[in-house]
Amino acid sequence: MTGLWSMVRRKGALYLAALMLALALPAAAVQPDEVLDDPALEERAREISAGLRCVVCRNESIDESNATLARDLRLMVRERLVAGDSDDDVLAYVVDRYGEYVLLRPTMTGSNIVLWLAPAALILIGGGLSLVYIRRRAGSPAPAEVALSAEEKARLKDLLQE
């Protein structure tokens, strides 16, 4: 009986490990009916769609998303490739249609430069302001110590004795 129980436990552990491995793998929402017959075109479509954001799911690529709009985008990318467009043409078409937000890695041009440079600029400004504050504080004279008057000393003595 113990041999059987040991075998069941091993199989259970194996199934659990397989389930955990399956959950750890990246989700691929590309349906079999979307896959192109030409492996080279399919590879290009996967590379392009890996860089396109699902506008419904926000931070997932259209390859990872199960949203209907993501499926439409995947099909549109494949249609453009079959029509003979280059990768850049497909990306330009999608960006023209949905805006630059659809790119997972936006370009560093135009108004996006502000977004790319803002974190570094804010860190430099904050560091500069901190440095000015510390230098001013270090250069200021220490507060002068004022001796207690006779009345204050008497009052303090009374308070401490109570």
Residue 161 to residue 2: CA distance in whole angstroms: 80
Number of domains in the chain: 2
Phi/psi class of residue 52: alpha, beta or left (left: φ > 0; alpha: ψ in -120 to 50)? beta
What is the pLDDT at residue 93?
A: 94
Residue 130 to residue 122: CA distance in whole angstroms: 12
pLDDT at 1 over 70: no
Q: Are 42 and 36 in contact (CB under 8 A)?
A: yes
CATH of the domain at 36: 1.10.8.640
Do 123 and 51 lie in one domain? The reply is no
Do 91 and 123 lie in one domain? The reply is no
Residue 151 forms part of a structural domain: no
Do 87 and 121 lie in one domain? The reply is no
Residue 8 forms part of a structural domain: yes
What is the pLDDT at residue 100?
A: 85
Residue-range definition of the domain harbouring residue 117:
108-138
The three-point CA angle 33-39-41 to 5° equals 85
Do 12 and 79 lie in one domain? The reply is yes
Residue 133 to residue 135: CA distance in whole angstroms: 6
Output the pTM of the full model: 0.56
Do 113 and 69 lie in one domain? The reply is no
Using one digit for the tens of pLDDT, what is the confidence trace for 8-29? 567 766 676 666 555 544 445 6
- Non-local (6+) Cβ contacts of 159 within 8 A are none
Do 33 and 112 lie in one domain? The reply is no
Using one digit for the tens of pLDDT, what is the confidence trace for 49-65? 999 998 888 788 888 88
